[in-house]
Amino acid sequence: MRVTVRLFARLREIAGAAELAREVAPGATIGGIWRDLASEFPALQPYERSISSAVNADYARMDTELRDGDEVAFLPPVSGG
């Protein structure tokens, strides 16, 4: 199945893209996608413990299972205001 990965701020810069398309196996989780990304872009690894994640623009835990067409987002620590 196919998912879209959205990356923001410093994560976006590390990966060099705001949006990535990924083919993943059924049953794939947000955490699985993150581990694949962190292998592909090792500079993401220090963010492992500080990121938040979302699916289809709702905050979601890393063990959330994905469905075909989902939009997954990884968010570094926030700094609004």
CB burial string 26-62: b at 16+ within 10 A, e below: eebbbebbbeebbeeeeebeebeeebebbbeeeebeb
Q: Which residues bind another protein (CB under 8 A)?
A: 6, 8-10, 12-13, 50-52, 54, 57-59, 73, 75-81
Our CB check for another protein shows the closer of 21 and 25 to be: 21
Our CB check for another protein shows the closer of 18 and 39 to be: 18
Q: How far is the CB of 68 from another protein (least distance, A)?
A: 20
Q: How far is the CB of 25 from another protein (least distance, A)?
A: 26
Q: How far is the CB of 60 from another protein (least distance, A)?
A: 10
Strands 71-75 and 58-59: unpaired
